[in-house]
């Protein structure tokens, strides 16, 4: 009997201990679940580009899609549904004021109003201007300059000392190639004009430089747009071509005098003898 009582007592203690342990594990799991639920941010549906949308193109429903976005991180100007983006009735469509890639948030600042005209001037920074440069296949890097690239502008001109080249502008953004302004277009083309974004002062320099000589573009790495301008001195053709041919100095011409012999007048080199005659009045 004593052994049986002892076994029952031990079994009761084990059951009690197991219940306490199970309760602890259950509470820990509940707390972890509640903590995870609290840490998961609330999500909202936002409108993004469902495909590439080039500059100036219309905003249509099939070009858009929605994704879930953390509510606490939603930037200002987003759209949560299509209704405010698609024209109703006879309304003219909205247009992209800048090129957008697939998955990019559709923001109010990137779109025109309904029926609003979209021009290249809307892509310029405040106070800047757009100016065209005449180019060809050679001066435009073989046609590999496209909208959105950054270039340096080099002037080649001739003066009394010969040919000279100097970089007049650095880190200039290309906003158009001929009539193409789409920054998403990576197709190379040989253009006749390249339109660049400049300040008013830079525009004056370009206007003078185009009259002074030939302008060439040098394409920059897109990551170098934030680099400081380098101080670049002009270079002349004589700095490139090292001519080792000895310089032959022509002898100075000897002075001459005119001598009358009878009715004829002859020009005779002035040497020591003739100098003596001239000095004696002969």
Q: In whole angstroms, what is the distance from residue 256 CA to residue 270 CA?
A: 5
| CA-CA-CA-CA torsion sign (122, 123, 126, 130) | negative
* 158, 207: one domain: yes
Q: Are the CB atoms for 149 and 189 separated by under 8 Å?
A: no
Residues in the chain with pLDDT values less than 70: 1-40, 181-189, 224-226, 243-250, 257, 259, 268-282
> 3-class DSSP state for residue 62?
helix
As a whole number of angstroms, the distance between CA 84 and CA 91 comes to 12
Is residue 277 included in any domain, yes or no? no
Q: What is each CA distance from 148 to 74, 112, 144, 175, 184, in whole angstroms?
A: 27, 20, 12, 6, 8
pLDDT of residue 22: 56
| Cβ atoms of residues 132 and 175 within 8 Å | no
Whether residue 82 is contained in a domain is answered as yes
Residues 137, 202, single domain; the answer is yes
DSSP state for residue 215 in the 8-state scheme = E
Buried b (16+ CB within 10 A) or exposed e, 126-146: eebebbebebeeebbbebebb
pLDDT of residue 260: 72
d(CA 210, CA 131): 12
What is the reported pLDDT for 275? Answer: 46
Full residue range of the structural domain in which residue 232 is found: 123-240
Same domain, 132 and 170: yes
Q: For 95-120, what is each residue's pLDDT tens digit?
A: 888 888 888 999 988 888 888 877 77
| Residues 228, 128 share a domain | yes
| Structural domain includes residue 170 | yes
Question: Any idea which residue has 């609330």 for tokens?
Answer: 42
Is residue 30, in this structure, part of any structural domain at all? no
Asked if residue 268 is part of any domain, the answer here is no
pLDDT of residue 53: 87
In the Cβ-directed half-sphere of 124, how many Cα atoms lie within 13 Å? 17
DSSP label at residue 254: P
Supply φ then ψ for residue 184, to 5 degrees: -85, -10
C-alpha–C-alpha distance, residues 86 and 10, integer Å: 76
Per-residue pLDDT at 280: 47
Q: Does residue 128 lie within any of the structural domains?
A: yes
Cα distances (Å, whole numbers) of residue 272 to 59, 179, 269: 98, 79, 10
Q: What is the pLDDT of residue 213?
A: 92
**Same structural domain for residues 215 and 134?**
yes
How many domains does one find in the chain? 2
Q: Is 46 part of a structural domain of the chain?
A: yes
Q: Are residues 206 and 170 located together in one domain of the fold?
A: yes
Does the residue 246 lie in any domain?
no
């Amino acid at each position: 009997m004593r052994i049986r009582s002892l076994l029952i007592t031990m079994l009761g203690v084990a059951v009690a201990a197991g219940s306490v342990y199970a309760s602890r594990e259950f509470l820990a799991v509940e707390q972890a679940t509640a903590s995870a639920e609290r840490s998961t941010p609330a999500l909202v549906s936002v409108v993004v580009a469902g495909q590439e949308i080039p500059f100036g193109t219309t905003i249509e429903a099939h070009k858009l899609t929605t994704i879930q976005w953390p509510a606490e991180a939603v930037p200002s100007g987003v759209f949560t549904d299509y209704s405010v983006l698609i024209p109703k009735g006879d309304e003219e469509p909205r247009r992209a004021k800048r090129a957008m890639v697939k998955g990019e948030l559709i923001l109010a600042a990137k779109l025109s109003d309904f029926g609003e005209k979209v021009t290249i001037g809307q892509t310029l920074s405040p106070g800047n201007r757009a100016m065209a440069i005449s180019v060809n296949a050679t001066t435009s890097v073989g046609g590999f300059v496209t909208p959105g690239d950054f270039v340096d502008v080099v002037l080649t001109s001739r003066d009394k000392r010969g040919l000279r080249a100097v970089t007049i502008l650095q880190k200039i953004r290309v906003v158009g190639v001929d009539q193409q302004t789409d920054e998403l277009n990576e197709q190379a083309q040989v253009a006749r004009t390249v339109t660049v974004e400049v300040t008013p002062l830079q525009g004056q320099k370009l206007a003078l430089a185009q009259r002074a000589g030939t302008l060439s573009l040098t394409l920059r790495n897109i990551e170098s747009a934030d680099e400081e301008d380098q101080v670049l001195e002009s270079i002349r053709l004589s700095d490139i071509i090292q001519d080792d041919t000895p310089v032959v100095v022509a002898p100075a011409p000897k002075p001459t005098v005119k001598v009358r012999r009878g009715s004829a007048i002859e020009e005779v080199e002035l040497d020591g003898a003739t100098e003596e005659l001239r000095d004696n009045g002969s």
